[in-house]
Amino acid sequence: MTESLLLILFMVIIGAAIGGVTNSLAIKMLFRPYKAYYIGKWKVPFTPGLIPKRRSELAEQLGKMVVEHLLTPESLQNKLLNADFKKDLSRWLEEETEPIFQSEKSVEEWMKTFHLPISSERINSVMDDWIETKALEWKNHYSSYSIGEALPEKWQEKVETKIPVLVDWIANKAEQYFDSPEGKAKVKTMIDDFLKGRGTLGNMIGMFLGNTSVADKVQPEIIKFIKHEGTQEILYNLLTKEWEKLKNKKLEEVLEKLPEREIILSLQNAVKNTVKVEEQLSKPLNQWVAPYKKQFLENVLPSWVDLGINLLSSKVANLMEKLHLQQIVQEQVNSFSTERLEQLVLGISRREFKMITYLGALLGGIIGLIQGGIVQLLS
């Protein structure tokens, strides 16, 4: 009885050892040997191992699996449109843009950082060219127009409403002048010159007025004349007629008398002095962008994120096709050494391979037990 039990135990151990070793060897033969061995011209069977032998097929199948089942356009679109992904992306962009809002670097330094060919000289040159082009375009376009046709209606109305104001201003200035000592002196000089030039008639007028200066008599009358409504009406009609004549004048007549080059240079200098490009570019970037930080983070950035995600999700299929992901995976797997490929597979399935080895030992032991029992029955 003891011998029978020892025989059965021996057969169980042998069966378990054979089953475990066989499965372990089969697993190792998936990868090893890494290369083919030859005896003369005859290749040793089962060399190289299964995976090294069929590496290209494995790489191709992995590429297909990744593209067709793992990284599909639908899965990427779902990920892109996921609300949590949008929040994470927005948070990340906020963190990445924060240094920009705090940057002490000048705008010009940022331009150089991004290798943008923008400088104050270039901007000023572009502005000068633009102003000159626009000025010449304006001249060519409106030269055949009359001033009335070229000026906007609102401007004409404004000029017409200012004529009475101009009349009052001229009248007041004239009154102030003739009422001043300078005006009085001027009137006296003019009258004296007039009387001197009239000989006897001048002397008779002087004798008739006596010791009172003619200028003292004339000056109040001049002021009364200026204040008179009729005088202001004459002045108003005169200015109105002159304005009508000016409106009917061709712009070409006016422009021909103006120094074109000097006007363009004046415009260019006026714009440059107003904009002060060099001064603006030398300012720290945070002075430009900091006032808009809240608006950017609350309105602009979310709209950019939505726009970018929607655009990317709509183009993800074309993008994946252009990237040739299957080819990338295939080339990457083919570039792995057999040792690394073995490490990758074992790193994922080491526990399962051990379980297969143990299962082989268990099945071998059971087969040994059955064989031992059969031997005992037959003996």
Name the β-bridge partners of 43: 38
> What per-residue confidence (pLDDT) applies to 225?
83
Kindly tell me if the per-residue pLDDT of 309 is higher than 50. yes
Question: What does the block give as tokens for 138?
Answer: 């304006």
At 362, which amino acid appears?
L
Q: What percent of the chain has pLDDT over 90?
A: 5
pLDDT band (50, 70, 90) for residue 129: very high
Domain ranges of the chain: 2-81+313-378, 121-281
pLDDT at 199: 55
Q: What are the DSSP calls for 25-49, one per residue?
A: HHHHTTT-SSS--EETTEEPTT-S-
pLDDT for 365-378, tens place per residue? Answer: 888 888 877 877 77
**pLDDT surpassing 70 at residue 1:** no
The stretch 256-280 carries a mean pLDDT of 87
pLDDT at 352: 77
Residue of 353 and 194 predicted with greater confidence: 353
Give residue-wise pLDDT tens across range 178-200. Answer: 888 888 888 777 776 666 655 55
The sign one gets for the Cα dihedral 258, 261, 264, 265 is: negative
User: What's the mean pLDDT in 223-232?
Assistant: 83
CA distance 360 to 367: 10
CA 185 to chain centroid, in Å, comes to 70
The pLDDT-based confidence of 130 (bands split at 50, 70, 90) is very high
Helix (H) or strand (E) segment spanning residue 379: none
Both tokens of residue 369? 């037990």
Dist. CA 165–CA 233, nearest whole Å: 12
Question: What pLDDT does residue 146 have?
Answer: 85
d(CA 73, CA 80): 10
